[in-house]
Amino acid sequence: MVQPVSGQSKLHNHNQGLYVRVKMQHDIPNGRGETASNRGENGPWNPPERMADARPAELDSEQERLPDGGYGWVIVASCFTLNCFTWGVTSSYGVYLSHYLSSELFPGATSMDYGLIGGFNFAFAMIFAPLATYTAHRFGKRGAMLAGAVVQSAGLISASFASEVRHLYVTQGALVGAGIGLVFVPSLPVLSQWFSEKRSVANGISSAGSGVGGVVFSWGTGAMIRSLGLSWALRATGLATLVANAAATLLIRDQRRQARPNKLVLDVQLLRKYEVSLLLLWAFVSMFGYITLLFSLADFSRSIGLSSAQATDVTGVLNLGTAVGRPLIGIASDRFRRIDTAGMLTLLCGIICFAMWLPATTFASTVAFAFICGAILGVFWMGRYVRK
């Protein structure tokens, strides 16, 4: 006897048939024999909830698929150049400081004024970090970095026309620092998109650019000031930074399309965590000593009777030590515990200052201190170069 079919049963059979037909269409293989199901595409049997559960594994496999070479080495060279013509220029400020203090170019200016001008480079670079991040997300990395290259160059060239010390605050201080922030901050995440196994090596090479730039600009700036004068030294440096930073920026590209999450540029809630407070305290103390040593060593050399050329040599050797030491610190931090490495090197740097800097009275002893301390100076910067 045939049983009557209810309306609910008809609906169930209709839905079941629809499911079968859709699944058959979904499982039609492509030219490589792949179906939508085994490709992991979204569908009724691969719902969003299931796809969400699979994302951590996909992210892990994505890390394994990073090129670890190829065009990535062009990115390394570009980041090396950017570090060279941003932080490398800033690292040579000790040469300008020594020249300002030994000549009365700006009546009424004090040593505190000149010290603050150099400090503005670091301060404004960090102050502009949130703006640089927003600008990069809004207009793209290249737009933000090219704008930074123009601002940094404009600051250096404008400083060559300064007639009062307050002009230097705005130009060689604030503008140069803001430009460095706009160039440097958007470039930070690029290398991690291209390297996985060789990431520490790539980042070590890139970070050495600041030391190499410091060497080149320390000796180059000293020579230009003696032969061309202060104004043309600033103009030549400004033009060189514009060309180099613009060229390196044009070679920068993301290895994959970056997501743009809807997050705060600055999450103040993080400041309530004691781990973050400890990190910021260490960063403040470390950077305070870093800037003090970087900018005052040339003037210290003059105070113990060394010539202007010898003071320039001391600054150059300090940056040479940085160029040699930073890649090694990056590799050591990747091999050993990061916190232990950073803590030991910070302590060692402080001990060397007491053991070698305070008793230094000759050119040889000052150069030895500059190289050794330069190799471990600014270990804070290497925290971003090690793999998590």
Domain span including residue 120: 67-256+270-384
Q: For residues 190 and 193, what is the distance between their CA atoms, to the nearest angstrom?
A: 6
**Region of poorest pLDDT, from 11-20, 107-116, 148-157, 322-331:** 11-20
| Residue 21 domain-assigned (yes or no) | no
Q: Is residue 196 part of a domain?
A: yes
Please check whether residue 31 lies inside any domain of the structure: no
Structure confidence by residue, pLDDT tens digits, 328-341:
887 777 777 777 78
- 41 occurs within a structural domain: no
Structure token pair of residue 79: 């980041």
Contact 83, 204 (CB under 8 A): no
Residue 335: the pLDDT is: 76
pTM for the whole thing? 0.72
Q: Evaluate whether residue 111 is within a structural domain.
A: yes
The answer, yes or no, to whether residue 3 has pLDDT greater than 60, is no
- Residue 3 in any domain: the answer is no
CATH classification at residue 285: 1.20.1250.20
User: What are the pLDDT digits (tens) for 102-123?
Assistant: 888 888 888 889 988 988 998 8
H-state helical runs in 128-163:
129-139, 141-159
pLDDT digits (tens, 9 = 90+) for 278-331: 888 888 888 888 888 888 888 888 889 988 788 888 988 998 988 888 778 877
Alpha-carbon span 373 to 254, nearest angstrom: 35
Q: Among 336, 342, 349, which residue's Cα sits nearest to residue 384?
A: 342
- Please indicate, yes or no, if residue 27 is contained in any of the structural domains: no
Distance of CA 253 to the CA centre of its chain: 15
The amino acid occupying position 33 is: G
Our count of domains for the chain comes to 1
Is residue 62 assigned to a domain?
Answer: no
Coil, strand or helix: which one is 4?
coil
